[in-house]
């Protein structure tokens, strides 16, 4: 029979992609990890990982074993979580997906607080702006930033916050181009646009102003990215006018690194939602993390009073 510990070690090796990273996570010497892998390969009479000084890759047999080993490890985690849940102590692993911008601007400051509150819970976060099928891809929950209503009838979606989208630029952007600061949307027609990329490159911005007035602005696609930090850096460097969530640039607006462009106008707001496969039957660790996000994210978006 396979040694379950060896399967656990192999799973971490496959996911971390190196002996050093896996050994550091396990707090064991790399030599021990190498010996356990060799024992597993000898037991199966198969080579599972091609490893040299320049290459670390699963063999075909290794990829097949990983699919089974991951399920076994997850089942073991679930058993531990269930038993600890009986005692009222959230424990186990939580897997979440979210956009990179949300991770950097909102979750990075909050995660240490959650981990300190629940020392028996571990969190794996995959940052991606692409559509993710939570169940098929093995995620417990997800965060999504969206303009249109979500239509995933099989999922449970809870709206956490509304993201105000603002136009920002370097204080010298228009002066360096010998242009006056814009007063009306028409004044920014044809500007260098730095926008949050979605599924297609945007060529227009629809702005909403006082009294729900709307205006359409055509722009030059200078830079599109799902990484807000990149857009801010480009704006600070004077490369264009960026559309970013207000909560991501409060510090730069406060210290004058960035300024609002057309402060009475904003791009269509987005909604930040928490997605769960089901509202019932959640493991205690998943429920604890979901409750934490519901509690803390709205306040993080709103910012200090």
Q: Could you give the 3-state DSSP secondary structure of residue 92?
A: strand
pLDDT, position 256: 94
Contacts 24+ apart (CB under 8 A), 132-136: 132/97, 134/97, 134/275, 134/276, 134/277, 135/277
Q: What is the mean pLDDT of the chain?
A: 85
Is 163-270 CATH 3.40.190.290?
yes
Confidence bin at 157 (pLDDT 50/70/90):
confident
Q: Rounded to an integer, what is the distance from CA 274 to the centroid of its chain?
A: 12
Choosing among 3.10.129.10, 1.10.10.10, 1.50.10.10, 3.40.50.10470, the CATH entry for 4-86 is 1.10.10.10
Higher per-residue pLDDT: 281 or 3: 3
- Sign, CA torsion 125/37/52/23: positive
pLDDT > 90? residue 265: no
Mean pLDDT, residues 47-51: 87
| Percent of the chain as helix, strand, coil, to the nearest 5 | 40, 25, 30
**Whether residue 15 has pLDDT greater than 70:** yes
Q: Considering the domain 92-160+271-302, what is its CATH architecture?
A: 3-Layer(aba) Sandwich (3.40)
Angle 73-74-78 from CA coordinates, rounded to 5° = 120
pLDDT > 90? residue 252:
yes
Kindly indicate the confidence band of residue 167, based on its pLDDT and cuts at 50, 70 and 90.
Answer: very high
Mean pLDDT of the 248-274 span? 90
Helix (H) / strand (E) element for 174: namely helix 173-176
Is residue 156 within 8 A of residue 142, CB to CB? The reply is no
Q: Which regions of the chain carry the CATH code 3.40.190.290? A: 163-270
Q: Is the pLDDT higher at 39 or at 198? A: 39
Question: H or E stretch including 159?
Answer: strand 156-169
Q: What is the pLDDT of residue 170?
A: 94
Mean pLDDT in residue range 27-43: 89
d(CA 25, CA 176): 50
Start and end residues for every CATH 3.40.190.10 domain found in the chain? 92-160+271-302
Mean pLDDT of 287-297: 93
**Are the CB atoms for 247 and 300 separated by under 8 Å?**
yes
- Res 260 pLDDT > 50: yes
What average pLDDT does the segment 241-270 reach?
90
Band (199; pLDDT cuts 50, 70, 90): very low
Q: What is the pLDDT of residue 232?
A: 93
Task: Give the whole-angstrom CA distance, residue 47 versus residue 35.
Answer: 13
Lowest mean pLDDT segment, chosen from 44-53, 228-237, 244-253:
44-53
Q: What is the mean pLDDT of the segment spanning 49-72?
A: 84
SS3 283: coil
**What backbone torsions phi and psi does residue 280 show, to the nearest 5 degrees?**
-120, 160
> What confidence score (pLDDT) does residue 91 get?
84
Confidence of residue 150 (pLDDT cuts 50, 70, 90): low
Q: Distance between CA atoms of 235 and 250, rounded to whole angstroms?
A: 14
Per-residue model confidence (pLDDT) at position 202: 60
Give SS3 for 29: coil
**Lowest-confidence segment of 16-30, 146-160, 235-249 by average pLDDT:** 146-160
Residue 87 has pLDDT above 80, yes or no: no
pLDDT for 83: 66
Average confidence (pLDDT) over 24-40: 87
For 84-109, what is the mean pLDDT?
A: 82
* Residues 200-219 pLDDT 10s: 456 788 888 888 888 888 88
């Amino acid at each position: 029979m396979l040694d379950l510990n060896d399967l656990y070690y192999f799973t971490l090796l496959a996911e971390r992609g190196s002996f050093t990273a896996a050994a550091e996570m396990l707090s064991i010497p790399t030599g021990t990890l190498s010996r356990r892998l060799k024992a597993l390969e000898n037991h199966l009479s198969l080579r599972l990982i091609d490893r040299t000084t320049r290459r670390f890759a699963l063999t075909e047999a290794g990829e097949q074993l990983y699919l089974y080993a991951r399920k076994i490890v997850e089942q073991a985690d679930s058993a531990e979580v269930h038993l600890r849940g009986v005692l009222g102590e959230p424990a186990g692993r939580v897997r979440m997906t979210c956009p990179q911008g949300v991770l950097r601007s909102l979750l990075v400051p909050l995660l240490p607080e959650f981990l300190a509150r629940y020392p028996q819970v571990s969190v794996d976060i995959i940052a991606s702006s692409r559509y993710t099928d939570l169940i098929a891809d093995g995620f417990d929950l997800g965060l999504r930033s969206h303009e249109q209503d979500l239509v995933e009838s099989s999922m449970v979606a809870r709206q956490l916050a509304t993201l105000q989208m603002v136009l920002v630029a370097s204080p010298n952007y228009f002066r360096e181009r010998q242009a006056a600061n814009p007063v009306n949307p028409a004044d920014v027609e044809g500007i260098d646009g730095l926008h949050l990329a979605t599924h297609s490159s945007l060529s227009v911005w629809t702005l909403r102003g006082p009294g729900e007035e709307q205006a359409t602005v055509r722009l030059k696609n200078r830079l599109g990215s799902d990484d807000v930090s990149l857009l801010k850096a480009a704006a600070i460097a004077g490369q264009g006018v960026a559309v970013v969530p207000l909560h991501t640039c409060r510090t730069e607006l406060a210290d004058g690194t960035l300024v609002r462009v057309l402060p009475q106008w904003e791009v269509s707001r987005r909604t930040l939602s928490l997605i769960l496969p089901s509202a019932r039957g959640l493991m205690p660790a998943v429920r604890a993390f979901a409750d934490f996000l519901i509690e803390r994210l709205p306040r993080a978006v709103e910012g200090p009073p």
